[in-house]
Amino acid sequence: VVRVLDCGKLVAPAACAGLPFMVLELLRGEDLYSVAAREGGLSPERVVRYALEACAGLSAAHAQGIIHPDLKPENLFVSLDADGGECLKVLDFGIARSRSRRAVTRGRAGLGSPGYMSPEQVQGSQKVDVRSDVWGLGVVMYELLAHRPAFPGDDPHALCAQTLTAAVVPLAELRPELPRALIEVVERCLERDPARRFASVEALSEALESLQLTPAGAASAAAAAAAEELPVEVDT
Q: What are phi and psi of 172, to 5 degrees?
A: -65, -25
pLDDT digits (tens, 9 = 90+) for 50-102: 999 999 999 999 999 999 989 999 999 999 988 888 999 998 876 555 554 33
pLDDT of residue 8: 95
Q: Is residue 80 classed exposed, middle or buried when 0-12, 13-18 and 19+ CB atoms within 10 A define those classes?
A: middle
Of residues 233 and 94, the one with the higher pLDDT is 94
Q: How do residues 170-182 score in pLDDT, each as one tens digit?
A: 999 999 999 999 9
Note whether 198 and 131 are within 8 A (CB): yes
Q: Is the dihedral of CA 70, 73, 74, 77 positive or negative?
A: positive
Cis preceding linkage at 13, omega within 30: yes
Q: Is residue 124 within 8 Å of residue 89, measured between CB atoms?
A: no
Identified catalytic residue from 31, 70, 92, 133 = 70
- Residue 70 annotated as catalytic: yes
> Which amino acid type is present at position 116?
Y
- Could you please report the per-residue DSSP string of 29-49? EEEHHHHHHHHTS--HHHHHH
Half-sphere exposure at residue 87, Cβ-oriented, CA atoms within 13 angstroms: 18
